[in-house]
Amino acid sequence: MFDILHYSFMQRALISGIIIGIVCSVIGVYIVLKGISFIGAGIAHASFGGVALGFLLGINPLFTAIVFCLFTGWGIGFLSHKNRIKEDTAVGIFFASTMALGILFIGLMKGYNVDLFGYLFGSILAVTEEDLIITISLGFIILTFDVVLFKELMFITFDREMAEVTGIPTTKIYFLLISLIALTVVLSIKVVGIILVSALLITPAATAYQLTEEFKRMMFFSILFGVSGTIAGLFLSYWLNTASGATIVVVITIIFFISLLLSPKRRKKTKKISAG
């Protein structure tokens, strides 16, 4: 049954799937709790421009996507900082304009590039050794930052104003968080694709949120659901011969709805009682 693991493409897919499952689930906790899912989606769409530029220049699209996503993230952060404009407005502006750039770049290319489809919807089975090295390095960088700045990231997510009052460099930490989101997006587009990456960022963390009221436990559950959902989706897609990115997203979404049914808390009710 697991003889498919003898194939090296499947080994690469599995390793990158696990890394992405971990990284997305960790960063997703901050995204879900801070309520900035739309930023994740915006940055993901920006990667389309970056990927297209990579194809145009003939270099690994992940490198150009890193640059595009980081600048888009910083642009959103800069515009919405100190409420210059609303965060979702800033996202909306970048969301469409970076996609537009991507379409312009494709237009400049001679002939139609089939590979682009893989980046839009994911092609985990086509992960190359170079992709895997990028995935491992980026994953290591993101997780290191998360570990060493864990308490600051948690604090600004919970109560940014209070963090600032006590002397935490909140603006720097906020931009760091956006950068981590950008890198996470780049990491994931090869697996689930630009269109579906939001699901990996948000759904495992949202699932974990249903089941616990402790921060570290939420992170642990998020990783558990993210990784197991990615692995399950990967194998399912192989056996059912379906698109792997979409299968992974469907699996983690099903886990989410199960957790919603099993959730021990009735959040809305507790909120009403304790507010009174």
Partner 1 sequence: MKNKIIELKGVYVYYQDLLALENVNLEISEGEFHSIIGPNGAGKTTLLKLIIGLIKPTKGTIKVFGKNPWKLGKERKKIGYVPQIMSVDINFPVNVMEVVLMGRYAQIGLFKPPGKIDKELALKAMEKVGIADLYSRSLSKLSGGQRQRVFLARALSNEPEILILDEPTTGVDTATTESFYELLQDLRKDGMTIVIVSHDIGVVAAYVDRIACLNKKLVAHGRPEEVLKEPKLEEMYGCEAILLLHHNIPHIAVKEH
What lies within 8 Å, CB to CB, of 256 at 6+ separation is 203, 206, 207, 210, 225
* 119 or 174: CB nearest partner 1: 174
Site membership for partner 1, residue 266 (CB under 8 A): no
* 7 or 266: CB nearest partner 1: 266
Q: Which two tokens stand for residue 151?
A: 């308490």
Among 111, 161, 241, 261, binds partner 1 (CB under 8 A): 161
Site membership for partner 1, residue 152 (CB under 8 A): yes
Site membership for partner 1, residue 264 (CB under 8 A): no
Within 13 Å and on the Cβ side, how many CA atoms surround 173?
A: 22
Site membership for partner 1, residue 164 (CB under 8 A): yes
Candidate ranges 5-13, 85-93, 161-169, 182-190; the one touching partner 1 (CB under 8 A):
161-169
List the alpha helices (DSSP H) in the chain: 8-34, 37-57, 61-80, 87-108, 115-121, 129-148, 150-165, 170-192, 197-211, 215-240, 244-262, 267-275
Q: How far is the CB of 155 from partner 1 (least distance, A)?
A: 5
Candidate ranges 40-48, 106-114, 181-189, 211-219; the one touching partner 1 (CB under 8 A):
211-219
CA-closest candidate to residue 41, choices 180, 223, 191, 195: 195
Among 30, 48, 55, 209, binds partner 1 (CB under 8 A): 209
Candidate ranges 133-141, 155-163, 184-192, 252-260; the one touching partner 1 (CB under 8 A):
155-163
Q: Kindly identify the residues of this chain, within the stretch 214-243, that bind partner 1 according to CB under 8 A.
A: 214-215, 217-218
What lies within 8 Å, CB to CB, of 43 at 6+ separation is 69, 72, 73, 76, 178, 181, 182, 185
Site membership for partner 1, residue 137 (CB under 8 A): no
SS3 content of the chain, % helix, strand, coil (to 5): 85, 0, 15
Do residues 179 and 73 lie in contact, with contact meaning Cβ atoms separated by under 8 Å? yes
Candidate ranges 56-64, 123-131, 205-213, 252-260; the one touching partner 1 (CB under 8 A):
205-213
In the complex, which residues of this chain contact partner 1 (CB under 8 A)? 33, 148-152, 154-155, 157-159, 161-168, 209, 212-215, 217-218, 267, 270-271, 274-276
